[in-house]
Each structure stands twice: as C-alpha cells, then as structure tokens.
Chain A
Amino acid sequence: MENKLSRNLFMIPYALWIILFVVSPILLVVYFSFFDIEGNFSFINYKNFFTPVYMQMTFSSFWYAFLITVLSLLVAYPTAYLVTRTKHKHLWLLLIIVPSWINLLLKAYAFIGIFGTYGAANSFLEFIGIGSRQLLFTDFSFVFVAVYIFIPFMILPIFNALDNLNPSFVYAAKDLGASKWVTFRRIILPLTMDGIKAGCQVVFIPALSLFMLTRLIAGNQVITLGTAIEQHFLVTQDWGMGSTIAVFLIFIMFIIIGLTGFRKRGA
C-alpha cells in the first residue's frame, strides 16, 4: 500500500509535465484549428489544407525531410561503423556529438558566413578554378546544413546498435563462407535495423517541421510546413490555419512512428 502511494507521489511531476506541456498544447492546437481568421467556428481550414498550395508545401516538406534523412544515414552508418572499430571509440563518439551541443541558431549563422558571397566556401571554389557561386539561399545549402546538424542524432542510435552487435555473429557468418559484403547485408544490416529506424525517426520527424533554417540558409527558397506554421502564427495572425497544419504534422508523425515501429526484439 505504502509502496503504491509513494510511487503515485513520484508520478506527480511527470504527470504535471505531460498535462501542461504535451496534452494541453495538443488539445489547444486542435481547438484553434476549428476557428477561421475572424474567430468563427468552421471547417474552412481543413478544406483549405487540401488546396494545391498546401499540398505542394506538404510534398516539399516530405521531399526535403526524406533527402535529409537519407543523406544523414549514408554519412552516419559508415561513420558509426568506423567509430566502433577504433580503439578509443567512446572518445571519437564524444567528438562527433560535441557540435550538437552548440546552439542551432549559432551554427546557422556560422554557415551564413561560410556560404556567403565572400565566405570560405566561395574562396575555395575560386581557388580551384570553378569560380564563386550563389551558395547561400539555395536548396543545396539548406539540405547540406540540415544534414550537418542531424548527423550526430543519426550516428548515436546506429553506433549503439553496432556496438551491441555480438562480434561472434560476424565470425560465424565468415565461418559459414560469407564474404564481407554478404556478412554485412545478411547479418550486420538486419541486426542493426532497430538503430537505423530509431535514427531515421529522430531525423525525419524534426526535419519535417524545420523552419528556421529554411529562412536563414534557404532564404525562403524552400517552404515547408514548419515555415507555413510560423508565418501563420507570427505574420498573417491566422492561428486557425497554423493550428490546422500543426494538427496534420502531429498526425503524420504518429503515422511515421507507427510505421517504423517501436518494436522490441526479444532477448
């Protein structure tokens, strides 16, 4: 009895947090989504969402989030693999993680400097004879910076999965005649799939709603759902439409989590 009581007592801060900062904002967002810009109850926002303008935005959000996720995965998997092979793997991991402690905004401004007309990137292009280009405010620079920012989040779960992989599975595969490539495809990749899924979730979902980078780096060349929400709340003051987009984003996130799954593997 006493145990149960104290356990319930410990639950209070957690429950308060969830109610105040997770449940009630979601309910508020859903509530606001049923009001048009004049403050009248209506479904007009939902109708508007299915117009080509917003569909185009949804599509481009998905497309960029997909690009960012795939590119980070392509960089992160080999990196994580190499790091597990090094002697001081936790030190190397730490060095990779360190940039993620720096504020996102600071990193974005740093890239403005690097990609600017007189920045380091253009000086380099000049030096190797290609000549300076418009780098900032392109979708290339947007994807590049987003991938740079998300890589540590992709590496971490993949590193853990690779590090937990029993090395005798690799020996067993070799012993049974598998080449390096077959061992990777048939043993290492399937056994680290949970890490890949976790990494993709951690990257894809925030990438869907990126808004600051789209303005600072992509110069509004790329308009995603995240940008749209920001604009509706801060510029057009159409809270109803902003909320509706947010409702769809939340809905999409749940679908993605459901698809990639939090399936736990038995021992």
Chain B
Amino acid sequence: MTTSAIIQFNNVTKNYDNNPPILDEVSFKIERGKFYTLLGPSGCGKTTILRLIAGFTEATSGEIYFNGKKINHIPANKRQVNTVFQDYALFPHLNVYENVAFGLRIKKMKKQAIDAKVKEALSFVNLHGYEEREIKNMSGGQRQRVAIARAIVNEPEVILLDEPLSALDLKLRYQMQYELRELQRRLGITFIFVTHDQEEALAMSDEIFVINKGKIQQSGTPNDIYDEPINRFVADFIGESNIVKGTMIADNLVEFGGKRFACVDRGMDPNEPVEVVIRPEDMEITTEENGMLNVTVDSQLFRGVHYEIGGRDQEGNEWLVQSTKKSVVGEKIGLRFDPESIHVMRFNETEEDFDRRLDSYSEEEANGK
C-alpha cells in the first residue's frame, strides 16, 4: 500500500437483510490531500460509502482501511473524519459558537484554545462576527458555512460532504462550489464530496468516482471521464452525449450512420459491435454537401449561449448538436467532426481492461513520435 493512500476499500459489500446489495464488492483508494467526488444517481450507493467511512454503518463484508489500519469496527466518535450533512444537522439549541465548539469541548480543550480555534474556523468560512447568532436566524448559505466550520475546526484528516449544496439556490451553489474548492486547497485536507450533479463534480474535483447500482463504473480526473467515458451509463450521466450503435472495422476505423470514419480508438476485435459517443459541442454544422454525416433537423431550442439542435440521420439515429448558428426545422444539414471527437466504447468492458487498452496505444504513440 502506498503511503499517500489515506482510505482504502477492499471488496466492500453492504446489504440490508436479504435485499440486493447497495454496495457490491467495491474497492478503491483515496489519496491524501485531494478533492474526491462520488457521483451517481440517487440510490446508487454513494451515500452508503460516505456512511461507511464516517462509521455510521458497518460493512457486510470486505475491509476498510484508514491510514493503513483496519477501521471496520471502530465507532464513529473515534474516527478522524468529520461530516458536513445534507441538512447540515446544526444543533438548534446551541448558537453558532457552541455548534462549532462542540467537537473541541468534547476533546476537553482549554477555553482560550477553543476560543482561538472557533474564531479562526469562522473567519475561514467568512462568518466572522456571527458567533452569538442563533441557528434559526441564519440563511441556508450561512448554515452551510457553519456546518463546514464545525467540521474543519476539529482538524480531521478527511472531510465528508453529503450533497451539501443541494438545498441552495443556483447562484449560491455556484459561489459555494468556488469557495469549497478554494477552502480545500488552503487547508490541504482530503475532501470526499457526494453529489448527483455532474456539473458540480466536473467543476470541483481532482478525482471523480462514477457510481451506479452499487458499483464504481469509472474513476479518473474530470477530463478523463468526460472525454473517455467507459460505457453508456457514464457517457449519458456526465454531460450531454450522442450515443449510437456502430461497428469497429479495424484500428482507427469505425462505421456508424451508414458511413466509415477515421478515429483514434484501437485495440478492439475486427468488426466488433461497439457504441460511439460524440459530444454535442464537438460537432459543427455545415451545408449538406460538406457534411460528413447528413441529418434532418426536427427540433431546435434556444439555450442562451447556443442553440440545441436535434435531428435524425438516414439510419434513424438521433443527433444532438450545440451550435451558435441557427438552423431551420425540416431542413437537411451536414455535420462535421474531428477523428479525436469520436469516442468508441466496447460493451461490458471492465475498468482495468479499459485502462490497459487506453494505456497500450497511448504508449505506442509516445514511442512512435
């Protein structure tokens, strides 16, 4: 085990009674000092992972390590992690100061030390001067900050955040995304952030774990996951995508929509059936004659920054294009895209195989040049 891994899950399974598992043989490593996001639809098991790390629930099988020590049976109050809850869970009978000081008082710290730390934590989240405020007199955004201050004041090694931004309005949510990211950089503590909002995940994280049905589908940097989704679920869940059925003719050549296109994917069997992903923003609208693929426009929405144009090709595949240029419903248009914009996905490929295949040809390219 590497020294920088702070949390490690080995084949962790969690199920209640005899129901199908909420987490199914999950293994991963969390490195020190990074911002991690567990991303997935509701009920996928992401919150269960958080609760297992916090110690609110115990794994049915598998091992959980923290700093190299197995912590499966260590109670929550003895763990070096703190949680920011979805509903903040600020104690309504205590004021801001006492909420933040709660953990320090339990550690029986000296009065002056508590005072200094609480003040520091509050100024960290821009709540200086709010010490005596009652929780019920604070706005959602302010409560959020108190909850964060209450977690960071204990100087934990890991902070767990359970969808903490979901109750805020859009503008405040954007602002808090910046603030959280900034806070994590300043503190250098490991953040594990749970969300179902893919935009939030892409904007804030160093690493994203995409989770579905109790399994980690793909893990990687936001760029990796956006550009090279491993399967249909990930491609669909993260960002808008066009996913069509195709055939991998040979390395660097794929067929879909009745035509053959050059691409940069390799390592599949000849004539293997595959799925092809092209992001709507990677396609350019042109005239019918210049198009690599021709579609008939059947819908157009104005989104402010761009138009969202929907159409169908001859084979009936749907295509979504984002363009600043307007088009006319019913008209035939051509679409152009680079070989790099095409991403080919195999069916049922595991993450290890996927990574190995990608590594093999990126090394080849590096050697060739």
A residues near B (Cβ < 8 Å) are: 166, 168-169, 171-179, 182, 186-187, 190-191, 265-267
Instruction: Give the interface centre of B55, B82, B92, B136 by most chain A CB atoms within 10 Å.
Output: B92
What are 5 residue pairs bridging A and B, where the CB atoms are less than 8 Å apart in the complex?
A166-B89, A172-B89, A174-B55, A175-B54, A176-B77
Neighbouring B residues of A187 by C-beta, 8 Å = 91
- Whether B56 and A172, one on each chain, are in contact in the complex, defined by CB atoms closer than 8 angstroms, is no
Query: Within the complex, what minimum Cβ distance (angstroms) separates B172 from chain A?
Result: 20
15 new A-B pairs (CB below 8 Å) besides A173-B91, A176-B102, A190-B93?
A: A168-B86, A169-B89, A171-B54, A171-B56, A171-B76, A171-B83, A171-B85, A171-B89, A172-B83, A174-B55, A174-B75, A175-B54, A187-B91, A191-B92, A267-B136
- Are the C-beta atoms of A177 and B77 separated by less than 8 Å? yes
Bound-state Cα–Cα, A182 to B55, Å: 18
Alpha-carbon distance between A138 and B334 when the two chains are bound, in angstroms: 100
The 4 closest A-B pairs by CB, nearest first: A176-B103, A172-B89, A168-B89, A174-B76
In the bound assembly, the distance between CA atoms of A190 and B87 in angstroms comes to 20
* B73-106 at interface with A (beta carbon < 8 Å): 75-78, 81-83, 85-87, 89-93, 102-103, 106
* Docked pose: A177 CA to B150 CA in angstroms: 12
Cα–Cα, bound, A266→B138 (Å): 12
- Name B139-155 residues within 8 Å CB distance of A: 150, 154
Contact A176 B82 (CB under 8 A): yes
B369 at the binding interface (Cβ < 8 Å): no
How long is the Cα–Cα vector from A258 to B222 in the complex, in angstroms? 61
User: Do B106 and A177 touch across chains, with their CB atoms under 8 A apart?
Assistant: yes
Q: CA A171 – CA B57 in complex, angstroms?
A: 11
- With A171-B85, A190-B93, A265-B92 as known contacts, state yes or no: A178 contacts B77, CB within 8 Å: yes
Q: How many residues of B contact A (CB 8 A)?
A: 25
Judge whether B106 and A182 touch: CB under 8 Å: yes
Complex contact A176–B150 (CB within 8 A): yes
When the two chains form their complex, are residues A175 and B76 in contact, meaning their CB atoms are under 8 A apart? yes
Cα distance A171–B54 in the bound complex, in angstroms? 9
Given A177-B107, A177-B154, A172–B93 Cβ distance below 8 Å? no
Complex-state Cα separation, A182 to B91, whole angstroms: 14
CB distance from B176 to the nearest CB of A (A): 19
A70 to B85, CA, bound (A): 37
B154 x A166 contact (CB < 8 A) = no
Docked complex Cα distance between A57 and B86 (Å) = 56
| Residue contact A176 to B136, C-beta cutoff 8 Å | no
- Residues of chain B contacted by A178 (CB below 8 angstroms): 77, 102, 106
What CA separation (Å) do A179 and B91 show in the bound complex? 16
Report the minimal beta-carbon distance from A179 to chain B, rounded to whole angstroms.
Answer: 6
Evaluate contact between B77 and A179: CB separation under 8 angstroms. Answer: yes
Shortest CB–CB separation between residue B350 and chain A, in angstroms?
Answer: 35
Task: Select one of A166, A174, A266 contacting B56, CB under 8 A.
Answer: A174
Point out the residues of chain A lying under 8 angstroms from B76, CB to CB: 171, 174-175
Find the B residue at minimum CB distance from A265.
B92
Shortest CB-to-CB span from B107 to chain A, Å, is: 7
Bound-complex Cα distance A190 to B77 (A): 20
- What are the residues of chain B within 8 A of A169 when measuring CB–CB? 89, 91
Which A residues are in CB contact (< 8 Å) with B77? 174-179
Shortest CB-to-CB span from B167 to chain A, Å, is: 13
**Which one of B55, B85, B103 lies within 8 Å of A168 (CB-CB)?**
B85
User: Which among A175, A187, A190 has the greatest number of chain B C-beta atoms within 10 A?
Assistant: A175
A179 to B108, CA, bound (A): 13
Q: Which residue of B lies closest to A168 (CB)?
A: B89
A190-B93, A265-B92, A266-B136 known; A175 vs B87 contact (CB < 8 Å): no
Query: What CA separation (Å) do A267 and B134 show in the bound complex?
Result: 11
CA distance A266 to B89 in the complex (A): 16
Complex: A20 Cα to B102 Cα, angstroms:
53
Cβ of A190: which chain B residues have Cβ within 8 Å of it? Answer: 93
Q: Nearest Cβ in chain B — how far from A130, in angstroms?
A: 43
User: Which residues does chain B contribute within 8 Å of A267, judged by CB atoms?
Assistant: 136
A187 to B55, CA, bound (A): 19
In the bound complex, CA of A166 to CA of B91 (Å) = 10
Q: Please measure, in the bound complex, the distance between the C-alpha atom of A85 and the C-alpha atom of B260, giving whole angstroms.
A: 64
